[in-house]
Amino acid sequence: MRTGLIAKKLGMSRIFDANGKHVPVTVLKVDGCQVTAVQTKEKNGYTSVQLGSGNKKVNRTSKAERGHFAKAKVEPKQKVVEFRVDEKNLLEVGAELCASHFVPGQFVDVSGVTIGRGFQGGMKRWNFKGLRATHGVSVSHRSIGSTGQRQDPGRVFKNKKMPGHMGARNRTMINLRVVAVDAENGLIMVAGAVHGYKGSWVTVKDAMKKVLPKDAPKPAGLKIKA
């Protein structure tokens, strides 16, 4: 099991493959993704790699965070994520990863926070049909209708689909195909849509339900220092 990457969603575009087929893709940007800490089995009881990405102003960084980044000898990071890895795939603190960590054709799992929609009704939130436009229904055409039963049990069951807060939840899109990788510009293009708004942070990992390609770099796709 290799580490994943922290990327920023730039938006959607399209690519034409060798057969001229149009493929909609989401463009992810990997920039300044460095190892900020390493957890070992002897010291911590498990093995993982902590990555940080995005530059953060020092005056916006807490004293504890400044000490953590100073120990790793890296600039303060906006986003920090920990990835569980095998012991043989541990990395050195300060190492920088790049988009070539993934190869075209492989499948990845992309996690992000869905776009927040605020408080929404049952029709938008759960695709309810709504009430009739005629036959005595007035004003409440977009209401959800009855939510309970009769005197027995005389209550609304838990987990009933009702109006409420929509979006702003952690979600993962699994088995997305990597269509192209631009290592020079740090771009990863995956087929289909990815959760989150433009400019939001996402994590990209090897697909759990697919076999890792043999040409995928191990322990990771590291950026070569000039």
Give pLDDT, residue 148: 87
In the predicted model, is pLDDT for residue 5 greater than 60? yes
Give pLDDT, residue 222: 86
CA distance to 66, 96, 100, 185, 220, per residue, from 224 (Å) = 26, 8, 11, 14, 12
Give pLDDT, residue 226: 57
Domains belonging to the chain, first-starting first, are 5-101+180-189 (3.30.160.810), 117-146+158-165 (no CATH)
- Beta carbons within 10 angstroms of residue 33's beta carbon: 26
In the predicted model, is pLDDT for residue 94 greater than 60? yes
